[in-house]
Structure 1
Amino acid sequence: MARLLCRVHDQPLALVPHQGPLILAANHVNFLDAPIIVTHLQPRAVTALVKEETWDSPLMSYLFNIWEGIPIRRGEADLQAFQKALQALQEGKILGVSPEGTRSGTGVLGKGHPGVVLLALRSGAPILPLVYYGGERFHQNIRRLRRTDFFIKVGNPFTLRPVPSPISREVRQRMVDEIMYQMAALLPPAYRGVYADLEAATQDYLVFAPGVQSNLPPPPLR
């Protein structure tokens, strides 16, 4: 069904590791994101943190029960969802997380929230930035009986540098901002939103494996 409605440019998904726990840090545009990404990552086991209200829809409830989605109560510390997410990673699954916490509708990045930081530090799982764009035109295209181009970009993975506990709010926000800049670098400039200025990005808390490059462009020659 996804391929009937969209032209999914999924070649970059070949870069997703074939095994092992993985946190997919992804942007969130609209209802197309999860069905397309989850189905195109098969046969890997994929789950995601999904807002609790999603289960109010019979269709979405059916789909996310099949995918073993993890309902999360937004705006509060949902320890049950946190523990289920850690368990999924311990089982070697891919865990999808949207640091923005909500749909943008436009594809333009909003401010990231630091929940993904605690998951990454507690689990030790690598973070893989994955972004998509084009899906924001779906409603406009479907009214004109046109298929929508759904572009996917996959970056290089990294882990977060361990820091002493307790972690201050400022440090957690700086960590998630560094993750968001890695995502922004994969997007065309018009979609980078509050992370448009890549020269302002830091990487103090990101650890790339030897030989693996940052997703940020190299600094300009002066």
Structure 2
Amino acid sequence: MSASSVYVPGRLSPRDTDRLRALFRFLFSLYARTEVRGREHLPASGGFIICVNHLSRLDAPLVFGQLDGRSVTAFAADTYRPNPFFRFILEMVDVIWVHRGAIGPSTIKAALQALRAGRVLGVAPEGTRSLTHALQAGKAGAASLAVAAGVPIVPAAITGTEHLSRAITRCYPLWRGRVPVTLQFGEPFTLPPLGRGERAEKLDAYTDEIMCRIAALLPARYRGVYADHPRLLARLASAAAPEA
């Protein structure tokens, strides 16, 4: 692989991977009051992409902990690689280390191989944590991968991990109560194939669709640059309309 990415296959058996998930859920329960909604939207088999907003370093273990029985591959910025804890955990599971701003053919090849092998790929389309905790503009990588692999996308929305991360860092005393954290999975959807000459324009529209579906699962204060996007407003209006 090129310098833009390094793929490290997981070393844990499926049983041990689920044990690690159980450990993550236990550790979260010490500090967080976690509510998970929409598990029924997760496909039972086949590869798919989870696209999620990015608030803290705890987002990945939160999502990973809810995927019992599934093989997962994660994108991770190589800035985390020098950290012994994050490197150990991610490389025990399955990770594509990516140099920010340098997603090249080797990265795409590794991700497509994972999806075609039936793995779940976790992606934060924003590319980095949001310092304001509200959505930043998404990048086109997730949409491009979904189209190339022909797999569904499951939008996911996280709230509260920014406060949880701060509580743990500051050794927040447990007796003061656990931090509320939510993770909501939305309905899976697929993106149509790209025609000749429309790649750039369509990928921008597809990325907006992904981000607006994430935004629709979030409280208003987290919607960021998509708060007034016509596609989001249309989805919110449709969801609020009474059934005939």
> Paired residue for 2:41?
15
**Unaligned 5+ runs, structure 2:** 1-26
Q: Residue 171 of structure 1 is aligned with which of 202, 216, 227?
A: 202
Q: Residue 101 of structure 1 is aligned with which of 114, 121, 127?
A: 127
Q: Does 1:181 align with 2:229?
A: no
RMSD of the TM alignment (CA)? Answer: 2.1
How far apart are residue 141 of structure 1 and its match?
3.4
1:71-90 residue pairs with structure 2 within 5 A? Answer: 71-90=97-116
Question: Are the structure 2 counterparts of residues 72 and 139 from structure 1 closer, same or farther at C-alpha, using a change threshold of 3 Å?
Answer: closer
Q: Does 1:45 align with 2:71?
A: yes
How far apart are residue 107 of structure 1 and its match?
2.8
Q: Does 1:192 align with 2:228?
A: no
Question: Are the structure 2 counterparts of residues 138 and 121 from structure 1 closer, same or farther at C-alpha, using a change threshold of 3 Å?
Answer: same
> Partner amino acid for 1:186?
L
What does the per-residue CA deviation read over 1:175-205, in whole Å, with 9 as the maximum and x for residues that have no partner? Answer: 101111111001111110111125x117xxx
How far apart are residue 12 of structure 1 and its match?
2.7
Indicate if the aligned counterparts of 1:134 and 1:150 stay in contact, CA closer than 8 A: yes
**Unaligned 5+ runs, structure 1:** 203-213
Percent of paired sites with the same residue: 35
Higher helix share: 2
Inter-partner Cα distance in structure 2 for 1:215 and 1:24: 19
Question: Are the structure 2 counterparts of residues 76 and 46 from structure 1 closer, same or farther at C-alpha, using a change threshold of 3 Å?
Answer: same
> Paired residue for 2:87?
61
Q: Does 1:121 align with 2:151?
A: no
User: Secondary structure at 1:177's aligned position in 2?
Assistant: helix
Inter-partner Cα distance in structure 2 for 1:139 and 1:127: 27
Indicate if the aligned counterparts of 1:185 and 1:217 stay in contact, CA closer than 8 A: no
Question: Are the structure 2 counterparts of residues 220 and 104 from structure 1 closer, same or farther at C-alpha, using a change threshold of 3 Å?
Answer: same
Q: Residue 201 of structure 1 is aligned with which of 218, 223, 231?
A: 231
What does the per-residue CA deviation read over 1:53-96, in whole Å, with 9 as the maximum and x for residues that have no partner? Answer: 22111110001101211111221232111111101101111101
Indicate if the aligned counterparts of 1:48 and 1:97 stay in contact, CA closer than 8 A: yes
How far apart are residue 129 of structure 1 and its match?
0.3
Inter-partner Cα distance in structure 2 for 1:97 and 1:136: 18
What does the per-residue CA deviation read over 1:25-79, in whole Å, with 9 as the maximum and x for residues that have no partner? Answer: 1111111101121122122111111112221111100011012111112212321
Per the normalisation by structure 2, the TM-score is: 0.79
Inter-partner Cα distance in structure 2 for 1:121 and 1:104: 26
Per the normalisation by structure 1, the TM-score is: 0.86
Indicate if the aligned counterparts of 1:117 and 1:172 stay in contact, CA closer than 8 A: yes
Indicate if the aligned counterparts of 1:30 and 1:105 stay in contact, CA closer than 8 A: no
Indicate if the aligned counterparts of 1:100 and 1:112 stay in contact, CA closer than 8 A: yes
> Paired residue for 2:29?
3
What does the per-residue CA deviation read over 1:83-130, in whole Å, with 9 as the maximum and x for residues that have no partner? Answer: 111011011111011110000144311100101121011100001101
Inter-partner Cα distance in structure 2 for 1:90 and 1:103: 28
Inter-partner Cα distance in structure 2 for 1:106 and 1:140: 14
